[in-house]
Amino acid sequence: MKKLKTYSLVVITTLSLFTSCSKDDDASGNDTEPVAIEGTWKLKSLNTTTPLDLNSDGVTEADLVKETGCYTNETVVFNVDKTGMIKSTSYADIVASIEIGTTDSYTYSAECVNEVDNTSFTWAKNGNIITVVEEEGTYTLTLNSNNELILTIEDTFSVEDPDNNGDTVVSDEDITMIYTKQ
């Protein structure tokens, strides 16, 4: 539901992800009620398979929200009439550069690019599974026991090295997006 945008230097399109409702016991043994899907959900984290150091602080992080400072105002709105809107306000333009004197060691940098991108969709709920249909495809989200909507999109994240004939440095990784109700 979020689009990961592919640029000549970087591939990062954010397709939306979601999770749906389930009734689980909390640690005290009491039943907890899942939150209603209808309403606004804000992106909490956008996780890649391989942690990267994109902000040059010497620490690798799998969460692109923490590592880049991008994606901080991304939301998904589920309407009662089973329609919705994905609202994207930024994305990370990620660049990989080969380290001098090496053939397979890279440094990374990321720049937040502001955008206004709204994508409409329809949705259906079956238990704790939510199916979202939008122009780019159909996505299945799950609402976990922490009332987080979770979507994993397989083989959708890669980073290219523009100085090395566009060779792929990070290739075909999964992205997991976690949303919380606002």
Euclidean distance between CA atoms 55 and 9, whole angstroms:
16
Give the closest residue to 1 by CA, choosing from 163, 128, 127, 178: 178
In this structure, of 41-45, 46-50, 146-150, the range with the lowest mean pLDDT score is 46-50
Query: What are all long-range contacts of 21-29, with beta carbons under 8 Å and residues at least 24 apart?
Result: 21/125, 21/127, 21/128, 21/143, 21/147, 22/127, 22/128, 22/142, 22/143, 22/144, 22/145, 24/145, 26/145
Backbone angles phi, psi at 35, to 5 degrees: -75, 155
Please name each of the domains of the chain with its CATH number: 4-181 (2.40.128.280)
**pLDDT exceeds cutoff 60 at 8:** no
In this structure, of 66-75, 92-101, 131-140, the range with the lowest mean pLDDT score is 92-101
Euclidean distance between CA atoms 159 and 141, whole angstroms:
25
Q: Residues 139, 17: contact at Cβ < 8 Å?
A: yes
Instruction: For 12-25, write each residue's pLDDT tens digit.
Output: 333 333 333 333 44
Token representation of residue 14: 């954010």
Euclidean distance between CA atoms 21 and 77, whole angstroms:
16
**pLDDT at 32 (0 to 100):** 57
**pLDDT exceeds cutoff 70 at 87:** yes
**pLDDT exceeds cutoff 80 at 138:** yes
